[in-house]
Chains A and B, each alone.
Chain A
Amino acid sequence: MNEVLHETHLVVNGVPRTVSVPARRLLSDCLRHDLGLTGTHVGCEHGVCGACTVLVDGRPMRSCLLFAVGVEGAEITTVEGCRAAGGGLGPVQQAFQDCHGLQCGFCTPGFVTTITAWLAEHPDPTEEQARQAIGGNLCRCTGYQNIVASVLRAAELIREQEAAR
């Protein structure tokens, strides 16, 4: 009962990677256990909590619902790839600290990736829109109020950065 392995190519956070995985290997497990990028978390493995959200070619997707072999050739961005160019905190990450948008932090990577993608298309959201933007991710600790604030703060930080450019 030996499993067939498939050579799979991904560009993860800008770096080309090659892994040999069985067809059933989830993208979440591939990122976490084959590539050692453990920032992507797994809270349910059935597509509901959003903790495992990564960007696949820029679009937020639940990596627990994807097979690694199914995204052959894709560009993947994980929470580790949402940092600033210099390696410091990216704007969304910084906003979470500024607004106390996390407690245990287990859900946070899924929020960071989701919000990063969303703000690219909604640079100046209202509070109501910000709440809707995070409506598909579960957090058991914060009650979301400070996550909503983090979305607004991140938008502000991004605007500031762009203005400084």
Chain B
Amino acid sequence: MTTRTMGEPIPRREDPRLVAGDGRYLDDLGRGALAAAFVRSPHAAARVVDVDVSRALEVDGLVAIYTYEDLEGPMAEPLPLLIPHPRLHAGRTAYPLANGVVRHVGEPVAMVVARDRYLAEDACERIAVAYEPLAPVVGLDAAVAAERAVHDDVPDNVAAHMVQEHGDARAAVAAAPHRLELDLSIERSASMPLEGRGVYARWDAADRSLRVYSSTQTSTSVRFALAVKLGVPVDRVEVVAPDVGGGFGVKIVHPWPEEVLVPWAAIRLGREVKWAEDRREHFVASAHERGQRHHVSVGFDDDGRLLGLDVEFLHDNGAYTPYGIIVPIITATQLLGPYKPGAYRAEFRSLYTNTVIVTPYRGAGRPQAAFAMERTMDAIAAYLHRDRAEVRSANFIQPSEMPYDHHLTFQDGRPLVYDSGDYPATLDKIKKLVGWDEFEAFREEARAAGRRVGIGLACYVEGTGVGPYEGAHVRVETNGTVVVATGLTTQGQGHETAFAQVAAEALGVPVERVTVVTGDTRRFKYAVGTFASRAAVMSGNAVALAAGKVRAKALRIAAEALETDPDDLEVADGMVRVKGAPEREIALETVAVLANPLRYAFDEQTKLATQFVVGRGAEDPPVAEDDEPGLEATDWYSPVRSTFANGMHAVVVETDPETAEVRILRYCVVHDCGRLINPRIVEGQIHGGVAQGVGGALYERMVYDENGQLLNASFMDFLMPYASEVPKVETDHLETPSPLNPLGIKGAGEAGTIPGAAVLAAAISDAEGFFIDTMPISPSELWALREKEDG
């Protein structure tokens, strides 16, 4: 008998705390700490001529004001470039506080610390910064024209230029019987978690140690970064990610200017200091994504089969490149989706503009990739007068061709090799779910009633679970509880539940006995972080491996106690028992006691393990040479490469003939993320992902004016979908387990978002009868397109 918990839709263990208001998010901590606030640049490009703080000094409760001049050593240097790449030939990062120049609205110029946030903001308002404004570079056209440079030493504004090619794509396109050229653009959006960034730091001067809480997706890496920046030995730094109110990518960036400045001030002042971002700061001083413009040249045969695909695109990386060129690399590689492209070439330029930095937001370059590829598929189908599903199907990689090598290099520096997936089966499912073959009848019916409807289909393949590694520690306590710690962080994915399920199953204990700690460097020091749909794959497998080790040790110790062979034992419901003779059993907590030979007893359980009660042979050391005390183990999972999840979305839309309003009538998702740990959590990820995909397709965009001012930096003007805008999602799934990891898992976090723009553009195009090449699309834009079409 085993304890089945993997694959069960059990309720989340973290919920009772969170629904009752007992969660502990960043700004819920540190009551009484000093508050930090920042003076930020109102200009997109300017020289900082002077900072006059004199009027701020009279603010009651003011503690300190800092500018760049106050920074020394590593703090006075630019922030780290987290992911260097040989093709990122002109990577640039910001200083914690502006060093004479500001390059986007929102860049921090001075930090104020005061008794509370109100007073800190009072002081900020009284600091007079004299700027010499410069003409900014806004938008890709201005960046390419390079009449002005964002960085003086990068006169062409090009941060990176990269080409990846397999075969001779240009020759293949030129030789193909049919050719098409397309220009396809996506605008900027942003992760926009409901909780902004935040940092809270405590310096213990007597202990010379620092504890930092940060609303981050990677506490372990923040710890190493802070040790370097602050010159504090890494052993004296602890970083904790408390409950985090959403991340979606933006909180993987680190260390933020504020994230180094707050602890730095805490050390200097010997006081607790906290900063919780407000919404405007999040808009102008965190990160955005998505802005890209693609030119596609494609050559294909009479069946729509790709012979050559040549994609060039421009990527707007904003003012700095702390996160390297991960987003455009992902676009360049994931564009291929489930298809065999024939010869393929992708070339991009990543360009500086005087706007907020661009770093991964859920999907991370894939929504743009899916948009470019899927619009191309639709264009081919239209050109050949063929069914759109049929053209896609003609290009699929077949299950028998797995693993499939694209002969390209993925974002993790590893070969782009798909591990598994059954695309024809996925297509069958989505066609059935949405009623693809019956749609024409519905269209006719609708048309007769004066309604305009359309259907769209979009496919994607998503590399998930990138390395390099994650680890986990599993310990059985002497009271029978099991404590799991992993270093990666949680922002709502339900890791306390999912990892408990993995450990419970691997160990053979009821899930209620397992508690999980994530993102706390006091408990686990080595980790990478939560991003790229990697948590379940990476930490899930690490937890399973560590729990497996603990189980093996338990069997060994129990075998000694029961005088039998470990192979004859099993663990179920927290008991180690002899197979077939369940009366010969020993509780896991007793095994935990036996695993730790004691000199001192402190309760009834531990009395059993003291030196006059148990002991190995008189000549054996109490702990064998190759053993360790305690029923616990650490293990690591480090895959050779990513696993590849896939899926297909289909939507039915109705467009209003008068107002051009777009209404989603059906939204269907079929996805394959391998084996599921908790189907209800995966389903929730899909729902949330779809909401962000719909938002990005129909509502959300960052509107910059020519001066580099973000015109819609509030929830009043940046339109995130409410319940009224998000359709009900109908889902179905496949489970083709990944052969790459013991649990057979692929990631699911980003799946819902990736094809959003592609599938909605397809459906709207289908309803309207003309091709849509730019997303997002608002009713007024659709209306303008109609006017243009009507001539």
Contact = CB atoms under 8 A, between A and B. Distances in A.
Interface of A: 1-3, 22, 24-25, 29, 32-33, 36-46, 48-49, 51, 78-80, 83, 89, 93-94, 96-98, 100, 102-109, 112, 131-132, 134-148
Contacts of A147: 723
Contacts of B684: 100, 103, 141-143, 146
Nearest to B276: A42
A79 B31 contact: no
Contacts of A36: 31
A79 B21 contact: yes
Interface of B: 11-12, 14-16, 18-25, 27-28, 31, 58-60, 116-118, 122, 192-195, 243-246, 248, 278-279, 491-494, 680-681, 683-685, 687-692, 714-716, 720, 722-724, 726, 728-729, 752
Given A46-B714, A140-B246, A148 B11 contact: no
A143 B692 CA distance: 8
Interface of A is mostly: loop
B245 A105 contact: yes
A57 B688 CA distance: 33
A48 B714 contact: yes
The 4 closest A-B pairs by CB, nearest first: A39-B21, A106-B245, A104-B492, A105-B18
A32 to B, nearest CB: 7
A32 B244 CA distance: 17
A27 to B, nearest CB: 14
Contact of B20 (A39, A44, A49, A136): A39
Contact of B714 (A44, A107, A139): A44
Contact of A24 (B12, B118, B244): B118
B680 A104 contact: no
Contacts of B244: 104
Interface of B is mostly: loop
Contacts, number: 178
A154 to B, nearest CB: 11
Given A137-B722, A138-B715, A93 B19 contact: yes
Contacts of B690: 143
B684 to A, nearest CB: 5
Contacts of B714: 44, 46, 48
Nearest to B13: A97
Contacts of B23: 39, 105-106
Contacts of A132: 723-724
Contact of B22 (A39, A45, A143): A39
18 contacts: A38-B27, A39-B23, A43-B715, A45-B278, A94-B19, A100-B680, A103-B493, A103-B688, A104-B244, A106-B195, A106-B492, A140-B192, A140-B193, A140-B248, A141-B246, A142-B688, A143-B752, A146-B687
A107 B118 contact: no
Contact of B18 (A32, A102, A131, A144): A102
Given A1-B59, A44-B714, A49-B715, A96 B21 contact: no
Contacts of B680: 100
A117 to B, nearest CB: 16
A145 B25 contact: no
Interface centre among B19, B687, B716, B752 (most CB of A within 10 A): B19
B26 to A, nearest CB: 10
A80 B23 CA distance: 11
A131 B279 contact: no
A142 B728 CA distance: 12
Contacts of B683: 100
Nearest to B690: A143
Contact of A103 (B279, B492, B722): B492
A151 B492 CA distance: 20
A51 B122 CA distance: 25
A149 to B, nearest CB: 10
Nearest to B724: A135
A138 B194 contact: yes
Given A33-B31, A141-B688, A108 B18 contact: yes
B21 A37 contact: yes
A102 B195 contact: no
A104 B248 CA distance: 11
A24 B121 CA distance: 13
B21 A38 contact: yes
Contact of A46 (B15, B243, B716): B716
Contacts of A3: 60
A2 to B, nearest CB: 5
A108 B19 CA distance: 6
Contacts of A37: 21
A109 B687 contact: no
A28 to B, nearest CB: 11
Given A46-B715, A135-B722, A100 B278 contact: no
Nearest to A134: B723
B723 A98 contact: no
A49 B716 CA distance: 9
A136 B715 CA distance: 12
Nearest to A150: B19
Contacts of A44: 279, 714-715
Contact of B195 (A43, A83, A131): A43
Contacts of A94: 19
B20 A143 contact: no
A79 B18 CA distance: 10
Given A89-B20, A100-B12, A143-B684, 8 more contacts: A80-B20, A97-B11, A105-B14, A106-B246, A139-B194, A142-B687, A142-B691, A144-B723
Contact of A40 (B21, B193, B681, B728): B21
B215 to A, nearest CB: 10
Contacts of B195: 41, 43, 104, 106
A2 B18 CA distance: 38
Given A131-B723, A141-B492, A89 B19 contact: yes
Contact of A97 (B12, B118, B192, B248): B12
A48 B715 contact: yes
A128 B123 CA distance: 48
A44 B59 CA distance: 26
A80 B18 CA distance: 10
Given A103-B684, A140-B193, A80 B21 contact: yes
B724 A105 contact: no
B318 to A, nearest CB: 21
A108 to B, nearest CB: 6
A100 B21 contact: no
B493 A112 contact: no
Contact of A106 (B25, B31, B278, B689): B25
Interface centre among A46, A78, A147, A148 (most CB of B within 10 A): A46
B28 A105 contact: no
A148 B687 CA distance: 12
Given A138-B715, A143-B691, A83 B248 contact: no
Contacts of B58: 1
Contacts of A38: 21, 24-25, 27-28
Nearest to B191: A140
Interface centre among B18, B192, B715 (most CB of A within 10 A): B18
A48 B688 contact: no
A118 B49 CA distance: 55
A3 B61 CA distance: 10
Contacts of A97: 11-12, 15-16, 19
B726 A144 contact: yes
Nearest to A98: B11
A150 B689 CA distance: 19
Given A24-B118, A104-B246, A145 B279 contact: no
Nearest to B362: A140
A37 B494 CA distance: 24
Contacts of A2: 60
Nearest to B683: A100
Contacts of B28: 32, 38
